[in-house]
Amino acid sequence: MVVSDLVDVKGVDLLCWNDLMEKAYGIKRKLLSRTDENLLSFLHSDPEGAFVAADDHAGIIGSSFSHVWGTTGWVGPLSVLPSHQSKGLGKELLKRSLLYLEDQGCIDIGLETMPENPINMGMYLRAGMNPEGLVVIMGKKVDLRELEEEPSGHVNIERLSESAAEGNITEDIRRISRSFRLGLDYSKEIAQTKEFDFGDTLIATSRENIVGFAVVHTAPRRINMPMTTVRVLALDPKSKDEFLEPLIISAELLAADAQSPEIHIAVPIACRRGMDILFSREYSVVQTFERMMWMGSSGMSGKHYNLCSWTG
């Protein structure tokens, strides 16, 4: 894939997902296209892992993106034009992305898909991928009048864009990332967020030590679909879980400042404590994904807070 392909890739994505919404869920409300920045960031992140399928007459008819987070890699979004589905194109695009991630040295490789979609589940199972567990997307409306003040006490939350330590936290981010899975590295996601002005990263410190962070996207993925998404929320396993709620509160305040009407946070279903905290803050389940693994570990655990979603 090259930059000039993105106009056609955007069109294929839009037709593919609207077709899916109507056929699988009976929803005829049309989605709007992804933003240019959304697709460009995917391509910029791993340009050699972005692929297109092309037809001599129809032009680009499918695409897939690959994402490398250190030694963890995932695929998405993957789209095929409805008129060219069920011809093996999706499987071939998936294969190209999986092999790219393996070539990059990833030892944990997978993706997430909607478990209620038998076509997608069938394709991934036939490709040799295994379901490892649900990731629950929890969301709530953002109402500035109901939000709490900034967290206080011995927990300090800073926005990276306003922090004096902005250029010195990469190793701490990598340290916390590696505590979940050897080689995992979320620093790339933080750099992308800053480069494309998607939002901000929240840094939690206690006694001058970084104990956690949250990558918060306030920019929408699709045109006219304003929503704040917490891309990653991670706490050092050596720290106390009391730092989780202050990060969530700060993410909600960031969403309110951006005038987002809603905020979403992904939680592996194994992380029951994280789900309970979100339920107590009036979040509800808005969507579920099944994490499918091609090789390695899914990284989902009930013993630590590594909240993220492998979806584009």
pLDDT tens digits for range 218-245: 999 998 788 999 999 999 998 878 889 9
Residue at 71: amino acid letter: T
Give me the chain's average pLDDT, please. 92
Q: pLDDT grade, residue 150 (50/70/90)?
A: low
Q: Render pLDDT for 153-211 as a digit per residue (tens, 0 to 9).
A: 678 899 999 887 666 789 999 999 999 999 999 999 999 999 999 999 999 998 888 99
Domain final position from 91, 106, 121: 106
Say which residues have a Cβ less than 8 Å from residue 230's Cβ, sequence separation at least 6: 214, 215, 216, 217, 251, 263, 264, 265, 266, 307
Overall domain count for the chain: 2
Do 180 and 283 lie in a common domain?
yes
The Cα–Cα gap between 86 and 82 comes to 9
For residue 244, is it within any domain? yes
For residue 147, being part of any structural domain is answered with: yes
User: Do 153 and 92 share a structural domain?
Assistant: no
Residue 124 domain-assigned (yes or no) = no
Query: 132 lies in a domain?
Result: no
Assigned token pair, 292: 């499918």
Q: What residue numbers bound the domain in which 26 lies?
A: 3-106
Rounded Cα distance between 225 and 4, Å, is 25
**pLDDT above 70 coverage of the chain, percent:** 96
Q: Are residues 272 and 158 in the same domain?
A: yes
152 & 245 share domain: yes
Q: What percent of the chain has pLDDT over 90?
A: 79
Same domain for 212 and 99: no
pLDDT in tens, 78-87: 999 999 998 9
